[in-house]
Structure 1
């Protein structure tokens, strides 16, 4: 006995969407997000995944404690079993920590300024251009 569709019309359900199409639809839906959420999904996640893969590779090859110490610049990458791979981890650690702290601080300052601003930046810039025009100056 054939299984019927829930609607009772005998129409089979649509085929499952292919993985490539689902990923494309997910990527296109990211434009609905703004600000930090958009940045996190489009830039932050790939960077974090790449750093995580580099850390796991180093952890498996040179040891987890040594990978941690190389990331934080406690140990020199030249003193490890595989210095070439450890140098990449060391440079990533030097770049990742300041970038993360700077991004968070910049976002917090930007939010604080935006929430206290009574007039939009476009309005303020427009007033400056009008006053220059009245004075007869040009930039």
Structure 2
């Protein structure tokens, strides 16, 4: 009867690529708010905008797609219109919302990083600094 081989003393095997990717995805909650927003919500919205722009670029032409998304040309002036209207709405509402959300998160992070101290902490420190130095007890 043979006995099974003993495991090597080197420890557990290194994690697989799938396990490392799963751990990275789980660590996204440790990101700052702006980074988490970009990965979770911003990527979906931005991907949708890029897909709409690409679809319209192929169907109505890249110059017309740019003109429609920036509001230079009406979506009613291009053919086919069924794809130009969502692109126009994206350029009118979604892209400014993405830019505004990104700016809002960056500004919020900067404000929180430079947040002023509480008034009671400042007053306590001023009182401590205003106290006369304690004498050592060795007088002349």
TM-score bracket for the superposition, by shorter chain length: 0.5 to 0.7
The DSSP-based 3-state class of the residue aligned with 2:117 is coil
Q: Aligned pairs, how many?
A: 108
The structure with the larger Rg is 2
Write out per-residue CA displacement over residues 116-139 of structure 1, whole angstroms, 9 at most, x where no aligned residue.
42139xxxxxxxxxxxxxxxxxxx
* TM-score in terms of structure 2 length: 0.63
CA distance in structure 1 between the partners assigned to 2:20 and 2:49 by the alignment: 25
**Residue 48 of structure 1: CA displacement?**
1.0
Q: Which runs of 5+ in 1 are unaligned?
A: 1-7, 121-139
RMSD across aligned positions (CA) = 2.9
Tell me: higher relative CO, structure 1 or 2? Use CA pairs within 8 A at least 6 residues apart.
2
* TM-score in terms of structure 1 length: 0.64
**Residue 25 of structure 1: CA displacement?**
4.0
**Counterpart pick for 1:55 among 53, 56, 77:** 53
Q: Which runs of 5+ in 2 are unaligned?
A: 1-7, 120-140
Closer/same/farther in 2, CA of residues 58 and 51 from structure 1, 3 Å limit: same
- Stretches of 4+ moved more than 6 A in 1? none
CA distance in structure 1 between the partners assigned to 2:24 and 2:53 by the alignment: 27
CA distance in structure 2 between the partners assigned to 1:35 and 1:15 by the alignment: 28
**Residue 36 of structure 1: CA displacement?**
0.6
